[in-house]
Copies of this chain bind each other. A is one copy, B any other.
């Protein structure tokens, strides 16, 4: 299959590209590399020194018989670039990771909220038009987020809801209450994609992904081919951040009471889920939604995993309940259904103390790289962050 990976320089995009290449697919990466700029602007860096994308692709192509190709360009700003890529590469499947992926980034200032929504919504819009123009029968696999749903007091279904209301029935998009301008951008994407499926007959799978954790996949363990692992308050997901805090001996920053419950998955399962979605494309005109996670945990559950795994590794891990910078419920009902991917055959890597201990040992090897100044939450949902605020 010819697979275009948008956002192939990222934490998930790069391992996905290698994973699909190994499995015999013809992979082309597109990235505008803007995540590297965003990192620089807010003063954070991945834990492992990250070679350029060009370097990683070169190393991969020297080591394997399945070369990956790459193009640098901006899907949201330059539609002619992405039209050209579609015209030349003619993908059968498009995996779309090319979005600003951080909720705190989108909440630190007007400037970054604007950049997030502009990049994500308009990039996806250009992509839909490129698909219609050149590969109307291709399959879009779009990374959404479980955070689109918010935390309703009713069960969360997979994208659609069988609604009964005043004695009548309909199948409707599941109602959404996103928790940041980042999450809101993903809601807008889903609306646009559902409309394009309905109106143009596009095939799409929206993967509403939970919070991903993990340092490595089989492919990233090779020299120079690791991925962009973040532990900072902006781009670091919660378990990754906790593991780094445990290693450097600062208390885990649990936001508020820590009863916030979400769906989680191992980075290796992200790759497998994308492959499963590609292997059974949505029908023409179908907007298919999968909830992509394997287990539900509260933040305090995760802190417990890190404490226990820390003890195995000789670490005394403390927990600090810091004032919650976000606007979110800290104790709530949460029951979501991730059944579709299981029915396609997903064999999940469930979270164990051993998984976390493995992450801890991996991070211990590069302990000196950690910048402890970028972990504590400074970006608050209710007020502008002076450091990142744009000029008025």
Contact = CB atoms under 8 A, between A and B. Distances in A.
Contact of A152 (B117, B172, B184, B391): B172
Contacts of A194: 177
Given A117-B192, A121-B121, A174-B175, 16 more contacts: A79-B390, A110-B129, A113-B129, A114-B122, A114-B125, A117-B122, A121-B188, A132-B384, A154-B163, A154-B168, A155-B166, A173-B177, A176-B191, A184-B188, A187-B188, A187-B191
A200 interface: yes
How many copies, total? 2
A83 B392 CA distance: 7
6 contacts: A79-B114, A113-B129, A154-B164, A154-B169, A163-B163, A199-B327
B178 A153 contact: no
Contacts of A200: 382
B192 A191 contact: no
Contacts of A333: 168
Interface in A307-337: 327, 333
A181 interface: yes
B110 A118 contact: no
A172 B83 CA distance: 38
Contacts of A390: 79
A198 B177 contact: yes
Contacts of A153: 168-170
> What are the 9 A-B residue pairs with the smallest beta carbon separation, nearest first?
A172-B175, A188-B188, A110-B129, A154-B165, A199-B327, A153-B170, A154-B168, A154-B170, A152-B170
A339 B121 CA distance: 33
Interface string A142-179: 00000000001111000001011110111011111111
Contacts of A327: 198-199
Interface in A108-134: 110, 113-114, 117-118, 121-122, 125-126, 129, 132-133
B174 A184 contact: no
B199 A192 contact: no
Interface of A: 79-80, 83, 110, 113-114, 117-118, 121-122, 125-126, 129, 132-133, 152-155, 161, 163-166, 168-170, 172-181, 184, 187-188, 191-192, 194-195, 198-200, 327, 333, 381-382, 384, 390-392
A181 B189 CA distance: 11
A233 to B, nearest CB: 18
A126 B152 contact: no
Contacts of A181: 125, 192, 195
A177 B168 CA distance: 17
Nearest to A183: B195
Nearest to A174: B175
A172 B165 contact: no
Nearest to A151: B170
Contacts of A169: 153-154
A379 to B, nearest CB: 13
A200 B392 CA distance: 19
Given A79-B114, A154-B168, A184 B176 contact: no
Contacts of A155: 165-166, 168
Given A184-B195, A198-B327, A199-B381, A175 B178 contact: no
A390 B79 CA distance: 10
A125 B154 contact: no
